[in-house]
């Protein structure tokens, strides 16, 4: 019986993580309110949950805001691209629906199936790109490439992540007043599955990150030398 109430018990440790994630959801919605900062807020949230999944938690607030500031530019650009992509596919689906209503038949069904497949691939990439940005340091092109490779190369996990977010969507629909809690729980749950995928590519991702950091440092040194020559 004493084990049941032991604070080090895995069950209570997990419940504590759920409670922390719920509290972090309030911080996420607060830092997302300008909307344009939602990408940076989501990246910071993933940075926190990935540390939780790996049991390497640091300072909650300091770690969150450090990740928010560090990834702000890339996250904001990715967020704008994601919004544009969602708007594009939403418009396509409306167009396909109208095509089906007016013309019907096999062509409309085939076009609709193609749009749905492409939309799923797009969403699949978004499941991985935010955790990638939170954990690794890559240029935008590499983030997009790696997220696509992971989404396509791990379809069972990608489908599971789609289910997680679909359930969160249902929760948001029925309890919209606490939608941010559902989002936080979805980010937390998906972090477990994403971490499983990351472990498959650990060596490759580490090498790519090291190469990118080296190139970045070389460019910085060249700029420094050029600046010194000008002086």
Asked if residue 228 is part of any domain, the answer here is: no
pLDDT at 66: 92
The answer to whether residue 150 sits within a structural domain is yes
Structural domain for 80, as ranges: 10-200
28 or 103: whose pLDDT is higher? 28
Name the maximum alpha-carbon separation found in the chain: 74
Q: Please give the average per-residue pLDDT across 88-98, as a whole number.
A: 89
Q: What is the predicted pLDDT for the residue at 6?
A: 54
Which residues have C-beta within 8 Å of that of residue 14, sequence separation ≥ 6? none
Note whether residue 106 is domain-resident.
yes
The 8-class DSSP code of residue 58 comes to: -
The per-residue pLDDT for range 212-229, each reduced to its tens digit, is 778 877 777 777 777 666
Answer whether residue 215 is part of any domain: no
Residue 19 lies in a domain: yes
Examine residue 229 and state whether it is found in any structural domain, yes or no.
Answer: no
- The pTM of the full predicted model, rounded to 2 decimals, is 0.87
Position 7 scores a pLDDT of: 55
pLDDT, tens digit (0-9, with 9 covering 90-100), for 33-61: 889 999 999 999 999 999 888 887 666 77
Distance CA 180, CA 25 (A): 6
- Within a domain: 61: yes
Work out how many domains the chain is built from and give that number: 1
- Percentage above 90 pLDDT, the chain: 56
Q: Which of 41-50, 62-71, 91-100 has the highest mean pLDDT?
A: 41-50
Alpha helices in 136-201 (DSSP H): 140-153, 155-174, 179-200
Average of per-residue pLDDT across 74-79: 96
5: pLDDT strictly greater than 70 = no
Q: Is residue 216 domain-resident?
A: no
Block residue for tokens 């640091």: 58
């Amino acid at each position: 019986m004493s084990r049941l109430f032991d604070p080090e018990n895995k069950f209570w440790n997990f419940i504590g993580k759920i409670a922390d994630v719920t509290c972090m959801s309030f911080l996420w919605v607060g830092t997302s309110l300008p909307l344009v900062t939602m990408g940076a807020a989501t990246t910071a949230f993933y940075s926190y949950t990935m540390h939780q999944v790996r049991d390497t938690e640091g300072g909650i607030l300091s770690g969150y805001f450090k990740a928010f500031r560090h990834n702000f530019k890339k996250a904001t650009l990715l967020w704008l691209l994601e919004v544009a992509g969602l708007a594009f596919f939403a418009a396509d689906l409306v167009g396909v629906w109208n095509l089906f209503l007016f013309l019907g038949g096999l062509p409309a069904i085939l076009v609709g199936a193609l749009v749905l497949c492409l939309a799923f691939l797009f969403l699949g990439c978004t499941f991985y790109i935010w955790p990638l940005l939170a954990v690794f340091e890559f240029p935008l092109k590499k983030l997009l490439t790696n997220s696509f490779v992971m989404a396509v190369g791990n379809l069972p996990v990608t489908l599971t992540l789609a289910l997680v977010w679909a359930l969160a969507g249902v929760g948001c629909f029925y309890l919209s007043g606490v939608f941010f809690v559902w989002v936080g729980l979805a980010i937390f749950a998906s972090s477990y599955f994403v971490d499983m995928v990351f472990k498959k590519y650990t060596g490759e991702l580490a090498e790519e990150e090291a190469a990118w950091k080296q190139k970045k440092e070389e460019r910085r040194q060249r700029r420094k030398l050029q600046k010194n020559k000008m002086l």
